[in-house]
Amino acid sequence: MKVIICGAGQVGSGIAERLANEGNDISIIDANVELVERANDVLEVRALRGNAAHPDVLERAGAHEADMIIAVTLHDEVNMVACQVAHTLFDIPTKIARVRAQSYLSEPWSKLFARDSMPIDFIISPEIEVGNMVMRRLETPGAFETASFGEGRITLLGISCDADCPLVDTPLSQLSELFPDLPATIVAIVRGDRILVPHATDQIHEGDGVYVVTPTDQTARILHVFGHEETQARRIVIAGGGNIGFYLAKSFEAADPNQRLKIIELDHARAMEIAEQLQSSVVLNGSALNEDLLREADITTADTLVAVTNDDQINLLTSALAKQLGCTSSFCLINSPNYLSMVRSLNVDAFINPRAITVSRVLQHVRRGRIRGVYSVQNGAGEVLEAEILDTAPIVGKRIREIDIGDGVRFGCILRNGETVIPRGNTELHVKDRLVLFSRADRVRDVEQMFRVSPDYF
């Protein structure tokens, strides 16, 4: 597949790396000469310098032969115009754009992205995606990572296994004996810097992180089984009143007008602006690293601090300081992968990576076959996918034990006629089943083949 990526920043380069490693023909465009040079040096792509919205630049990138354009530059307007040019002049079939300004996405202006107006097939809003991820995370206290599949019926939980975890040193084959009706599948184990797809004889070690797929209505029970008894947060402090922090505050107020919410915003004008638009939240102006201001926000009795400023270092340090002052839990926004290893050492409970979330959303539209959802884990080392089985797929009618999956892939849960099914060896796969599974990055193409459809589908 020939793909043009507009933007060589963290998101664009992340997408380019993933797609190039899978054998796709990738061209990447950026106006920054340093980013272009880095892409040419580090990635197996063809990088060009220029404005991604200019027709001559897109032509040099191979727009006449392109199957898809992914516009993720820092500027919404460049992304939108690039898609318009790609449609009008080059007839590129699939167009994806990142749009960050919420004014473009609000309901009164919904006609803007109609097919006969701005021809963008898929719009990705990092602020909304991250905001929704934070909301889901707060609904599952005790999990360091969550993702939702099957219209919310199936949940992926990332769970830390500490010394108090009762399942440490227990072979996975014994879990079904200890909990015969446990509706969950451990699809991956994170051990140090490795991600493992477990077998029945494997054990969970202290310090591991596990990824568990389960019906959403069973998440509290699963966390309890793993030794996590955290209660849902009621007293919340948000550090950062930008697009994400403001979106979170509005979402919290809509969900529960009586929620005790405090927001700390450094910029005075922005603090005044959001204070006028929020109903019950308290907005404090100042630095989230100011201990006196944190105490004024009642951090000592808060259930959770969510740090979502534009600075990774401030987010990490604010989260650590909040825990030191008595806040029950904290998690933060981290854009740079260089800081991910510091989360545990600073006693921060969890993190959110906007880059990984955006890459996951883009991959959902890139994957071949009937792939309905994609969530990238551990900086791209693996993916959790939701795939629908069509009548031409080669796995239709087979029992799971009959499918030559090999290492690196593990089935997690099936959504069948609105009901969830935990797959076992004798489970037969039916047409229209939606299967949630884990795949190591090097096995994703094999997974696509399992769900491949007839050529005329494309």
pTM: 0.76
Per-residue pLDDT tens over the stretch 232-280: 778 899 999 998 899 899 888 888 777 779 999 999 999 999 999 998 8
Contact by Cβ (8 Å): 307, 281: no
- Is residue 271 within 8 Å of 242, Cβ to Cβ? no
Concatenating the DSSP letter of every residue in 409-430 gives EEEEEEEETTEEE---TTPBP-
pLDDT below 70 — which residues of the chain? 114-115, 367-369, 453-458
Note the pLDDT of residue 457.
Answer: 42
The pLDDT value given to residue 307: 95
Distance spanning both ends of the chain, measured CA to CA:
12
Listing from the earlier edge strand, what are the strands of the sheet with 46-49? 46-49, 25-30, 2-6, 68-71, 94-98, 122-124
Question: CA–CA separation, 360 vs 369, rounded Å?
Answer: 16
350-352 and 329-333: which strand pairing? parallel
Tens-place pLDDT, residues 140-181: 888 888 888 998 899 999 998 888 888 888 888 888 777 777
pLDDT for residue 251: 87
Q: Identify the structural domains of the chain with CATH numbers, from first to last.
A: 2-124 (3.40.50.720), 235-327 (3.40.50.720), 357-457 (3.30.70.1450)
Q: Give pLDDT, residue 139.
A: 81
